[in-house]
Structure 1
Amino acid sequence: MLKNSMLSKSVRLALIYGAACSSVAATAAYAEEEATEKAEKIEKIEVTGSRLRGTDLQGFSPVQTIDASDIDTSSVANIQELLLKNPAFGTPAISRTNSNFSTASAGVATVDLRNLGTARTLVLVNGRRFVAGVPGSTAVDLNSIPTQFIERVEVMTGGASAVYGSDAVAGVVNIIYKKEFEGIEFEAQTGQSSEGDSEETQVQFTMGTSSADGKGNVMIHGAYTDQGAVFSRDRERSAVDQASLGAYFTGLPEDMFTPSRPFYSSYAPQGRFFAGDSQFTFDKNGNLKAGWSTNGSDTVDADGFNRSHYRTIAIPTERYLLATNGKYEFADGWSAFMEGTYAGTQTKTELEPFPLSSEDIYGSTGGQVPIEFEAMMNGQMTTVRNPFVPDAIYDAATDEDGDGFKDIGFTRRMADIGNRGNVADRDTFRLVAGIEGEITDGWYLDAFYGYGATKESQVSSGQVNVLNFRNALEAYTDENGNIICKDANARDQGCVPVNVFGNGSISPEAAKYINAPGLLSTFTSQKLAGLNISGDLFELPAGFVGLAAGVEYREEYSRSEFDALQQAGLNAGNAIPRTEGKFDVIEYYTEVNVPLLSDVFMAEQLNLRGAVRFSDYSTVGNTESWNVALDWAPIDSVRFRAIRAQSTRAPNINELYSPPSQTFPTGLTDPCLDVTLTTAGAQAEACRADAAVLANIQANGKFTLTQGDLQGISGFDRGNPELAEEMGKSWTFGVTVSPEGIAVLEDFDFSVDYFDIEIEDAIVSTPRQFILDQCYGGDSSLCSFITRRDKGTGANSIGSLEFIDSGSTNSGGYATEGVDLVVTYAKDFEDYGLTGQVNARLAYTHLLDGYAIPLPGSEKDPFIGEIGSPEDKFYLSLGYTWEDLTVAWNTTFIGKSYLDDGFLSGYDLAPESVGVGSETYHDFNIAYRPFDSTEIYVGVNNVFDNDPPPIITGLPGNVTGAETDAGTYDAIGRRYYAGVRLKF
């Protein structure tokens, strides 16, 4: 359960606790002295959002807290799962349910505050940066965080770059490990979904001990977690390929969430062959037939291929984790500290076999495969034919490329090679060491050095070697009756002729020759050092002026390198070149708190705080961040805050240095679709101005796209070394209320915050749909990013989109505005003569606005209310404890949402005209302690087994294989778990 940071109450409770513990062991006088010492230690605490140390820690920043008991109650394997229930977080860029098709970093767990992008959310551990888990970025992989070693997580939203540096534009997630622990804790848990999959195992232990003199303490934590796979075929909604009837066929709003099922792929294992004006394939019995049909159902045969049978919804993830904390007081008031983390993670993706086209092999000749050519026979050059080609296909074939020989085109699902997918092993290591202590009365210093590194080794399967495939296709029968490869050099290198005609026709030897296992090696490192001082400058009538200042240094390096075939695009997949780069930055900051009034009428406290940070990057040069905050408590139980902040974010390594990398975007609408020779308007005229589009219209009566066209769009993303920093400006206004003296309300705490964040010169890759719409909407400069096919080949039509490129620029803008409400309640029923205690917390976020600006001067593109960013979200947690029994019920609400307005405009539909209803998920946990050292618990997540809304293929937000937005909604279903905790 999340809690508002009403830390003044924590101080009072700590004093009481300290005195109580002392009275057991010593005299009352000694107890009072020790309590005073504890109070002094507590008085100088640093919390997320400030480097200052002080006694009254609430007020300046809106901070919400997750503590260890919340983690225990939820029993999550990964802290990402719990964080995403907080309505301040948006849909994660990467999780194990939305990254099965990623060529790298699949299964990584990231977070995204305010839906402003993972790069604008800064994740800290114990107040310091953590090495990235995604190469070339600053995104931390929460798989590398040992969940049960966490004492608490503090979430601060709003700009915090002045305090923590770059990337804190949307806010900060500060993960704080446990410390000074003595004893042994052990926990084991197992569970699975109601469908019998998504098996989950957790085993972990924590042990700690203190030195005999009490000056040192060391803790060690180890954990193993194994989360099993969920396959698309095992959920009825996603077991068969389907597509949005509205998006692909009718364009009607009522059909957008209606599936056209099946919507099989035209790339089938038996092959589809184009010879002259004829098409051929093979039926299920292996007989050649003319024509092609994708019609069918779950029970009626069709020529197409059901990809969904092979896809994965939830990626299996296995983790080994080790964490340690150590601290030793080597002199009075001075301690040395150390913290370390190691995580070994393995993820496995699995998806359908590769869809190969002859264009992938013979792209330079229009995808035409020669089926006859000249070869030396009996001492003279003779025209020969490929013996694998069936006579009917050979007879229908013509000379398509003008070389005098027959050729054909084909598409084929490479089931003979096996399923695609990858196995990735990631290792993350981080070590921080330093000293901290009191320089003089009220002045503190800490200095640290840290090093972290993440490396990944990935082996992928299912791709083919294009060069070998070409050699293997060009085969003939020699004088001895042997089928051989045409190229003599290829024969010397082991070429094996390949037969692509029919399901299962490729021999194991040929499959081995054309197979191209892929390799990926990445390495990311981070070096950081810092020196901080804080203390009281002088005293004013209202209190001491506090100061914090420091200097920090950071160096980031990243390298990502695929195998040579992948880099060149010679494995028929994405061409992804090597990316390498680094930068460093030195920063200076200072923060001041000035107490203006204290203990006067209508001003129990009035404080002014300011912070400024100057940074010098090796890439973008000098940047500046600052914030100013006013904290006013007119009475003890009411506190107001106002914050104005300017935050900066320097570009990361991928944004700066990424070379052109191929991608295959989905969810795009071609503006020229259905345009005829007589369609009026500037957009139609722009479409007809393209010769290939015009040829398509003339051939079909209107611009027409095939299924292959819809599935065959590619493009290249690229970085930009000329990028500058982006700047975010934010306002936060808030009030916290802890009613006292009002019987009905005194057990409540209330917190309300208004936030408004605007980002200028945002680093963006211009959205491809925006490029399309603008190119045919009057901005012809963007047409240079678009390439259409100048001739029809195979399954693709003339004029269809082939490439849409995009690159990083400082041309974007983002803004979000809304209100957070947090209400907490805690009550001991003994006050009513009953037994037990109840606690509750509601966290609610209502968005008032949210939009992106793709290019300067362009219209706002609202994302508020769209799928993944609903106007309303809340998380309600209820808990009841009676003696040794604890029951918890948690509810997550996601408000109604709509399809992307840009997508709808392609069908002349108004924004917010097509959407899905709200979703509510309930989780239940019950724990019982039969002995002081033992706790047994069971739980159910998604108690009512809610199905996610149908965000199906062709709709924006669809996650391939899940048939929903699996980053926003629960794509797995009801899950059960049980476990035991032991403490000694």
Structure 2
Amino acid sequence: MKRLRRHTLAAAISLAVCIPGIALAQEAAEQEAKTLDSVTVTGSRIKRADVEGQVPVQTLSREDIERTGLTSIGEVLQRITASGSGFNRTRNASGNDGFPPDGGGTGAGSTTVNLRHLGTKRVLVLVDGQRWVNESSASGVGAAVDLNTIPLAIVERIEVLEDGASSLYGSDAIAGVVNIITRRSFEGAQVTVNYGEYTPGDGESKSIDIAWGGSSDRASWFVGASYHDQDEIASRDRERTRVPVFGTGLALGSSRVPGGRFVFQDPRNGVVYDLVTDPTLNDPTYTPGLPACTPGADRPDGFRCWLGSRDAFNYAPYNLLLTPNERAGLFGQFRFDLSPDVSWYARALVNRRESLNQAAPEPIDLGPGAGSPFTANLVIPANHPFNPFGIQLDSSTIRTIRRRPIEGGPRLFEQEVDTTYVGTGIEGTFGVGNRTWFWDVNAAYGRNEAEQENRGSYNARNIALALGDPAVCASTPGCTPLDIFGYNTITPAMLAWISPVFRDESENELSLATANLSGDLFDLPAGALSFATGYEYRKYEGSYRPDPQTVRGEYNGVPSLPTQGSYDVNEVFVELNIPLMANSGWGKKLDLNLAGRYSDYSTFGGEFVPKIGLRWQLADEFLLRSTYAEGFRAPSIGELFGQATRFDADITDPCLISVNGDPPTAPRANCAALGVPAGARQFDPQIGVETGGNRNLEPERSRSFSAGFVWTPSVLEDSAIARRVDIEGTFYRHTIEGAIQAQAPQTQLDLCTQTLDPRFCSGIVRNPTTGQIESFANYLGNFDSIRTDGWDIDVFWLLPEMAIGDLSITWQNTIVGSYEAVGPDGSRQPLEVGRLVSDPVTRAIPRWTSNATLEWKRNNWSAAWTVRHTSELVEDCGDAAGFPICRNNPGPNQNRLGSTTYHDVQVGYRVDWMRGLQLLVGMNNVFEKEPPVCLSCNLNSFDGSTYDLPGGGFWYVRADLRF
């Protein structure tokens, strides 16, 4: 696996070298020292080597990336210990979750990074120090970068700043910064071929990367091409994912069944029927009077009473456990020395991603509470040719009608996402006295556009016409009367009328221009006072264009409306590094770093954020460092301009008998006041939640603090047990005020039923007859606060030289001390340390995550063994509370997800042929450890952003040829 390290400045001071990202060989460190004097380290704008170490930075080299066996930059970053939940290949989102509150869409097929569990939209992604365009998901305007838009072939290394950095980089850097450094100095060519699959023999992954570069006296160039193809794995292919919730059979299956469920009141006798189609017409297990029918109800021919879990539909086999993903990218950059002091560069990228998500056949809901006005208010006349009940079915008689037309097959969501980027700039140096100043002027443009085709969904208007007055249908071109009353009753002609192809589009654009200047101003007694300053202009433009049928309200699935918006920002910044002391009784060196940034947004005005840092080198082997920073994040286009959309949340209604028969938990008097009749049962745990943007949003404001040490104990250097040991520790604390998010729907509903407070209840509307929730408003706002803190503890140990070869150990840990999100009303949100929640997406915060790698090298051989550990989590069991799979540990209705440890191995051999042929073979999760069962996760009974896939390990081979 990867070996990541936080920059070890003590070694840089004592040895005059910088330890490269866990390639601890001395010759590599010496090579880095030769070039460090003129580079900018992520976390500072000043081009000097001796400011490195001011803030905690992890560096991931290309070798570290290759050691993971992964072929996505995003999935590699999701494995660092400071990373939280984010989209990846396991996220089969389209058609299942709907639209998240921030207007960003489902991010289908993308991979994102989430630092400190503060959310992907609070992480700034840079490429060569410049911002990268955000994703567009064809279902919204995203506020995070899809790392699948950056081909692996172009990456030299990745630097991860785990500290608030709005003063240096502007908005979005509240949780940290990911800076992807592209390959620049490259001579010759390289071809890398990868193949891998999961041990059951599925999920095949293939990729090829090609790199070519060269240089002349005044020019250098690099071209990288990458192709990757990941096959799907269906949920039905793993025992753990073949049912909706593992360990509950079909008890928590869907009440939307292939033959239809019909709950209606017959006006002739007042009887309320709850019927399903009898697939055999003579069900041998049916005994008259045995099912829980309404007393006195007759059973029409071909129907019988609903028997709960026995009749529930198993939608799981239609879903995907691993989504297919095909990517192709091409990147090139060219640099030319206009003079000895001035260089010009140009770079460009094109990238195409094709991905697919799949969901169970789309259900058709009719009657009050249905998703569309066409289906909520439809009328099925008594004379309809397929109406078997002899009465008119309308909003006064229908309680709910639910039919899952498996005749139309699963829903398929196919995405095509194109990313283009062009950038150019001039950079150089000039002398000021005997000092050298650095300058650069840059411009760049990025665009991410997505198209999505949705097949297998339905047009609600056409459904209503096909179920309505037969004369109206006959006079409408193409209309074919629809038969939903039975199994396999929907013919191809009926499907042709109700099931068109829906096409959605979205795009994000980023235009930017920057100018920077840095250097040394003058000497102080302890050294030179250094500075950096600059100006940056950015313009963001984004749009989401759903299919015209959806805009007209005809889409039978999750509705959405278009989004269109733009804003721009002008910024200036300054950074100073002030040496306060050098070579005194107080230590070797004490530096003060000050930074500030003023931003003027077209959407809300101006904002200034400062940062202060101290770096105290007490001795060659020991360094202390601390930072305090204020930051902000401007609302994204989706958060500001997104119109009303919906997502489906798994919610247990405290006023209703649960799906599996548990009694209501809310006070009966309160539920009666809300219009819930006694004995009402919840039809389905999935409730549509309406959400959307808010043009009155204010920016989030944050405070970040970190304090830590870097220690290279000299007593262990070149000792009997080590050549060198580096130990780093960092305490962090982030506080966000006015955080932009929507209240957790389950929390809002619980507070409503417990307090009847209009602040919680005003957006929740129930059916006056059944008590079911028909609409649930849950819009974005500026929450009161999010607070989190914790520790990073890392150890890097290079063992003494031995006859068996060189051995090194890397051990990295993140321990989250606390995480708390509190609404403006004082209500506590459910996400906290040691918990997993799934509302509307799965998020988990383990208290302890740890990665440890033992690496061995001898001559042309190499090997690595990596251990990845995640501590235990707790979730609410929800509707699985009454089943043995819910452990009721540590308390009632709670499930403990035990701690999980994965083992990865890799063996490599270098063939001295041409310029080198490197062969690698490895396996992730070599002992095929199963992830813990998740009872609250939306799909597949496991959290794919925290754990490896169930049902086997992943083996791979790689060949890398340089010539």
What TM-score do the two structures reach when normalised by structure 1? 0.86
Helix, strand or coil: the match of 1:965? Answer: coil
1:773 to 742, 745, 750: 750
Stretch deviating more after TM superposition (743-752 or 318-327) = 743-752
1:344/1:365 CA distance change after superposition, 3 Å? closer
Unaligned runs of 5+ in 2: 20-28, 99-105, 267-271, 283-300, 837-843, 883-887
Aligned equivalent of 1:388: 386
Q: What are the within-5 Å matches in structure 2 for residues 884-963 of structure 1?
A: 884-899=860-875, 914-932=895-913, 933-952=916-935, 955=936, 958-960=937-939, 962-963=940-941
What is the alpha-carbon distance in structure 2 between the residues aligned to residue 146 and residue 578 of structure 1? 31
What is the alpha-carbon distance in structure 1 between the residues aligned to residue 607 and residue 880 of structure 2? 40
What is the alpha-carbon distance in structure 1 between the residues aligned to residue 186 and residue 15 of structure 2? 20
Aligned equivalent of 1:52: 46
Pair 1:194-2:192 in alignment:
no
Aligned equivalent of 1:432: 423
What is the alpha-carbon distance in structure 2 between the residues aligned to residue 201 and residue 896 of structure 1? 34
Q: Is the 8 A contact 1:928 1:937 kept in 2?
A: yes
What is the alpha-carbon distance in structure 1 between the residues aligned to residue 725 and residue 399 of structure 2? 75
CA shift for structure 1 position 514: 1.1
Q: Is the 8 A contact 2:458 2:555 kept in 1?
A: yes
The aligned amino acid for 2:856 is Y
Pair 1:315-2:323 in alignment:
yes
What is the alpha-carbon distance in structure 1 between the residues aligned to residue 547 and residue 580 of structure 2? 63
What is the alpha-carbon distance in structure 2 between the residues aligned to residue 148 and residue 585 of structure 1? 33
Give deviations 1:290-314, integer Å, cap 9, x for gaps: 3244567xxxxx5432211101111
What is the alpha-carbon distance in structure 1 between the residues aligned to residue 710 and residue 459 of structure 2? 63
What is the alpha-carbon distance in structure 2 between the residues aligned to residue 499 and residue 543 of structure 1? 85
Helix, strand or coil: the match of 2:50? Answer: coil
1:268 to 257, 279, 287: 257
Unaligned runs of 5+ in 1: 18-34, 244-257, 297-301, 373-384, 476-484, 792-797
1:347/1:835 CA distance change after superposition, 3 Å? same
Aligned equivalent of 1:799: 771
Q: What are the within-5 Å matches in structure 2 for residues 309-388 of structure 1?
A: 309-359=317-367, 360=370, 369-372=379-382, 385-388=383-386
1:912/1:926 CA distance change after superposition, 3 Å? farther
Give deviations 1:712-770, integer Å, cap 9, x for gaps: x1121111111111111011000001122432455111110000111111111122122
Q: Is the 8 A contact 2:277 2:486 kept in 1?
A: yes
Aligned equivalent of 2:296: none
The aligned amino acid for 1:460 is N
Helix, strand or coil: the match of 2:649? Answer: coil
What is the alpha-carbon distance in structure 1 between the residues aligned to residue 911 and residue 944 of structure 2? 39
Aligned equivalent of 1:733: 707
Aligned equivalent of 1:634: 618
CA shift for structure 1 position 969: 1.4
Q: What are the within-5 Å matches in structure 2 for residues 411-810 of structure 1?
A: 411-440=402-431, 441-474=435-468, 485-487=470-472, 491-670=475-654, 683-691=667-675, 693=676, 696-697=677-678, 700=679, 704-706=680-682, 708-711=683-686, 713-742=687-716, 743=719, 744=721, 746-778=723-755, 779-791=757-769, 798-810=770-782
Q: Is the 8 A contact 2:135 2:141 kept in 1?
A: no
Give deviations 1:128-164, integer Å, cap 9, x for gaps: 1000013533311010111232111111112100000
Give deviations 1:817-862, integer Å, cap 9, x for gaps: 10100111223524xxx14111221110111111101224344755
Aligned equivalent of 1:855: 824
Structure with bigger RCO (C-alpha 8 Å, 6+ apart): 2
Aligned equivalent of 2:289: none
Q: Is the 8 A contact 1:862 1:901 kept in 2?
A: no
CA shift for structure 1 position 466: 1.6
What is the alpha-carbon distance in structure 1 between the residues aligned to residue 644 and residue 573 of structure 2? 37
Helix, strand or coil: the match of 1:370? Answer: coil
Aligned equivalent of 2:102: none
Q: More helix per residue: 1 or 2?
A: 1
1:965/1:668 CA distance change after superposition, 3 Å? farther
1:361/1:79 CA distance change after superposition, 3 Å? closer
Q: Is the 8 A contact 1:95 1:110 kept in 2?
A: no
Q: Is the 8 A contact 1:466 1:570 kept in 2?
A: yes
Pair 1:980-2:959 in alignment:
yes
1:237/1:689 CA distance change after superposition, 3 Å? same
Stretch deviating more after TM superposition (616-625 or 734-743) = 734-743
Give deviations 1:925-982, integer Å, cap 9, x for gaps: 1111233421211111111111111112xx2xx032x111122111243111112111
Helix, strand or coil: the match of 1:665? Answer: strand
1:148/1:876 CA distance change after superposition, 3 Å? farther
Stretch deviating more after TM superposition (195-204 or 264-273) = 264-273
The aligned amino acid for 2:261 is R
Q: Is the 8 A contact 1:901 1:910 kept in 2?
A: no
2:162 to 119, 132, 157: 157
Helix, strand or coil: the match of 1:497? Answer: coil
What is the alpha-carbon distance in structure 1 between the residues aligned to residue 624 and residue 650 of structure 2? 46
Aligned equivalent of 1:222: 225
Q: Is the 8 A contact 2:69 2:924 kept in 1?
A: no
Q: Is the 8 A contact 1:898 1:912 kept in 2?
A: no
Stretch deviating more after TM superposition (452-461 or 260-269) = 260-269
Pair 1:282-2:277 in alignment:
yes
1:732/1:279 CA distance change after superposition, 3 Å? closer
What is the alpha-carbon distance in structure 1 between the residues aligned to residue 810 and residue 491 of structure 2? 63
Stretch deviating more after TM superposition (965-974 or 355-364) = 355-364
Give deviations 1:450-494, integer Å, cap 9, x for gaps: 00000101100111112222222236xxxxxxxxx4216x63422
CA RMSD of aligned residues (A): 3.0
Q: Is the 8 A contact 1:734 1:751 kept in 2?
A: yes
CA shift for structure 1 position 363: 5.2
What is the alpha-carbon distance in structure 2 between the residues aligned to residue 496 and residue 640 of structure 1? 76
Helix, strand or coil: the match of 2:754? Answer: coil
1:764/1:812 CA distance change after superposition, 3 Å? farther
Q: What are the within-5 Å matches in structure 2 for residues 839-850 of structure 1?
A: 839-850=808-819
The aligned amino acid for 1:963 is S
1:38/1:565 CA distance change after superposition, 3 Å? closer
- Larger radius of gyration, structure 1 or 2? 1
The aligned amino acid for 1:730 is S
What is the alpha-carbon distance in structure 1 between the residues aligned to residue 108 and residue 860 of structure 2? 41
What TM-score do the two structures reach when normalised by structure 2? 0.87
Helix, strand or coil: the match of 2:867? Answer: strand
What is the alpha-carbon distance in structure 1 between the residues aligned to residue 644 and residue 728 of structure 2? 47
Stretch deviating more after TM superposition (609-618 or 460-469) = 460-469
Q: Is the 8 A contact 1:202 1:226 kept in 2?
A: yes
The aligned amino acid for 2:147 is L
Q: Is the 8 A contact 1:885 1:927 kept in 2?
A: yes
Helix, strand or coil: the match of 1:720? Answer: coil
Identity, in percent, stands at 30
CA shift for structure 1 position 264: 3.1
- Paired residues, number: 890
Helix, strand or coil: the match of 2:558? Answer: coil
Aligned equivalent of 1:110: 112
2:799 to 824, 827, 849: 827
1:315/1:335 CA distance change after superposition, 3 Å? same
Aligned equivalent of 1:28: none
Give deviations 1:782-825, integer Å, cap 9, x for gaps: 2111111122xxxxxx1122222111211231111101001112
